[in-house]
Chains A and B, each alone.
Chain A
Amino acid sequence: MKILLLGDGAREHAIGHGLRKSLTTPELYCLGAHRNPGLLRLAKEFATGNVEDPKDVLECAIKFGADYVVAGPEAVNFAGVPDALEREGIPCFGAKKCLAEIERSKVLLRRIMQKEGIPGRIRYLAFKNKDEAEAYAKLNPENIVFKPPGQVGGKGVRLVEGDKVYLTSATEGIKKSAAETAEKFGNPLGLEEKVLIEERIFGPEFTAHFFCDGNTFVATPLVQDNKHAFDGMEGPETGGMGSVAGPGMHLPFITDEDTQKTREIVEKTIRAIQKVASEKYRGVVAGQMILGTGYWDVPLEFYSRFGDPEGVNVINMLNIEEGASLEEIFSATISGKLNTLKIKFRPVASVVKAFAPDGYPLSKELAQNHPLVVDEAKILKKGCSVFYGSVDSQNGQMITKGSRGLEIYAEAENLPEASSSIEAVASCISLSDGWRVFHRSDIGTEQLLKQWMEIAEDAREASRRREAKGLLYKRVDFIPGRGKIEYEI
């Protein structure tokens, strides 16, 4: 069997690794923009090209004689690559363009949820331009989040807190800039709306991935990504500095009770968009959720693919001794036979930590073009695995591309142990030109878990109370001079 894998990041390295470990031992072919050193080793052939160009991909798939294609990043889906492949009779593990809209347009997600009355609805407003958004924000001094109206890799999301009235004038410039930034990143999406403003939801975040063949949804272990660049939930927003999963299917701070609605939200939303599009969703779908304080489970966005780094946890936790391997899952997803598989996960705790050159995420210029040195032998000896990300192979050297260079994966009985395994090998990663790499030492530690548990406990308590009072989808406000205002969501 031959598989063409699209993409060049750590997530794709993990997918490639999972595919090669499968019992069916498929031949792996890769197409990516840069030569990922990990995939280079796994692949029979590695072609460089544009994974977002359906023509390039199709040519590649035909050349390699691929039995099917696996879409790594969302951009592949947004570009309609799965659609183009299917027209030529080549199946693709990846959401078609019209289904991937659920990720590409955050406005669409909110609208579908509202129209279908799906749980997890929040207050949002979509604006046609930055000025309208800014004007709204000035008049409504609440805690709000400015977002580009669609998926642009987490860029342009800004939180403006309005609960301290005395800070209002000091934050005016930031509101203006936040609206501008959201519009700037939103513009290229070609959506009608340019800026999305949502009420700010506070609580622990987690990602819930499901394999979906159009009918069957198979849950995978919950994963929590950590978006802040630096230790202690500090620093600018990144694509994800590391993730934790387990032990088992849940997280220490997210229980069964917390997630019963997540499955419902994801299933109902996907079924709704399948109906609109008259297409089957075949691939992986994830709800990037928050256990909102007073709101229960709320999706911040949907992924039409594996999260990165979250996917690295999910794929590596598959129990292929007692259940289906990744290749079997992909095959069954494509052929609509997920219900025939036994899919199992090992009851371990797993931690992923991303390592990035200084400068990431704010200055690609500073973070790129550094020679990366990794003592892989030592890392493997300590029981961890390496997944390469934003690194190019050039003349036998590994050169950073400016984003997260690699991710280290470790598992253990509990998260703190897995975390310290990675800490023990952190010194194996360096840049030979003296520039520095950084990572989050606190991910998976007892201290951070304890903080999340406290936040989660508050979130549950507040949610129970609001639900009991029938306030989950109702906002009541009093505007002096205008009186009581009620919103139904």
Chain B
Amino acid sequence: MPGVFGLRAYYEDWVNSTSRFIGYGLIGLQHRGQESFGIVTAYDSKFKVYKCQKQARDAFDERKLGRIPGCVGIGAVSIYKEKNRKNVQPIIENGLALAYDGRFQLEDGAREFARMLGKELERNQPEQAGANAIEKVSGGYAFCALTKDGTIIFGRDKRGVKPLSHVGLGFDNGLVSSETCAFNVVGSKSPPQYVEPGECYAISRYSKKKCKVETNDRKLCAFECVYLANILSKLDGFAISAVRRRIGKRLAEKYPVSADIVVGVPETARPFALAYSNATGIPVEEGFARILGERSAIKPTQFEREVGVQLKLNPIREVTARKNVIVIDDSVVRGTTVRKTFKFMRDYCGVKDLHLLVGSPKIVARCPYGTEVPGEDELIARHLSDREIAEAIGADSIGFLTVEDLADCIGISLEELCTGCFTGKYQGED
């Protein structure tokens, strides 16, 4: 879930601008982690480090970042609060800085990966070193590493579970990011490029090289497309805004419910509701008011998640009273939030029928690649049938997508999609 970002400047006059640009890139990835913000640059063959356990927008400090020099650097935002500052991403291990998203299937995780990469770097060109490490290490991950001499090495696991893209910023910079929306934030206008599964790049001041591990497998994380990624982004070339509108349209085709209005749960489900409305002619309304702009589902504790949800999910009585309402959400995990919200809407907002449509398949399993899903005993869809779920949350009807629907909406074949959290099957995993 974390977001990684890297910048290599080709001209020396970027020395006082690089860290701030990385900072803005990370603000562009804030939706992937709000608990920590870290930047490491390489300057004069040393690392310069700025870390702050706040969300990117608050951690960003023009003055402090202005004091982190360098023409090359990497950064990360993460969903994890760390007791030890050393574990805030990017981590530094054995003279290598590493920002990563996902999980390395290694006993000591990311640190072990960094050590392996460091060893490979001793006897290989950097892109080859990265590819060798990818070859050896299973899991679902995207990483962006930095050497002290200023080479950025970035790549994706052999199945490309986690997204990673790269682009140029004018003639001045090479950029790498978990999501392309961060490129927009720092002003790049070039079409983004996508790192292929098993592919590794190395950018130094004088070269950009790539190396690819032989693999024909692709398993892009489906949850990224439904929920995690920003609507401005393209993942592996799939425009998320188009995917989300197709999901809304698909819901309209599958579940043509008779209702007065359709409402999307902010933020992710709003385009679903818009597309549902366009397809059915049922007016779309803004039925919930947000008090805080935070992302609730990626808060670290259940309490913080609920605070977050309730601050952003304030039903607006004037919109829903005396109406038959379709509420569209992006996912149902425990069902607790939607149950509380529906109860509030019935008790205090005077709604008539209340239908729930979900823009994803049922979540039934944990993710081994770091997407935070609660324990399996807590997942409502793992234990109850559709009818029972509707009963439990107080909906008059409920509808989910299937994984086939989802693949269709993304425009990818089902085989190329990791749908483990919806099926419990993590294909290809050793």
Contacts and interface: CB of A to CB of B under 8 A. Distances in A.
Interface stretch (A70-78, A232-240, A267-275, A392-400): A232-240
B207 A167 contact: no
Interface residues of A, number: 39
Interface stretch (A55-63, A98-106, A171-179): A171-179
A235 B168 contact: yes
26 contacts: A161-B187, A164-B185, A166-B24, A167-B21, A169-B20, A170-B17, A170-B24, A170-B62, A176-B13, A177-B11, A228-B168, A228-B171, A233-B167, A234-B190, A234-B193, A234-B208, A235-B174, A236-B11, A236-B171, A358-B206, A362-B10, A362-B206, A363-B206, A436-B207, A436-B209, A438-B209
Q: Which of A164, A166, A170, A363 is the most central at the interface, judged by chain B CB atoms within 10 Å of its CB? A: A170
Contacts of B174: 230, 234-235
A366 B206 contact: yes
B205 interface: yes
Contacts of A233: 167-168, 190-191
A178 B17 CA distance: 14
Interface of A: 157-159, 161, 163-164, 166-167, 169-171, 173-174, 176-178, 181, 202, 227-237, 358-359, 362-363, 366, 436, 438, 451, 454-455
Contacts of A181: 13
B14 interface: yes
A358 B208 contact: no
B136 interface: no
Nearest to A448: B191
A164 B188 CA distance: 10
Contacts of B17: 170-171, 173-174
A363 B12 CA distance: 13
Interface residues of B, number: 31
B116 interface: no
Interface in B94-153: none
A92 to B, nearest CB: 35
B15 to A, nearest CB: 8
A362 B206 CA distance: 7
B10 A235 contact: yes
A39 B207 CA distance: 30
Contacts, number: 96
Contact of A174 (B13, B24, B209): B13
Contacts of B191: 232-233, 451, 454-455
Nearest to B207: A358
Interface string B169-212: 01110100000000001110111010000000000011111100
A230 B208 contact: yes
Contacts of A358: 206-207
B337 interface: no
A358 B14 CA distance: 21
A174 B206 contact: no
A386 B172 CA distance: 31
B9 to A, nearest CB: 9
Nearest to A202: B189
A5 B15 CA distance: 44
B324 interface: no
Contacts of A454: 191
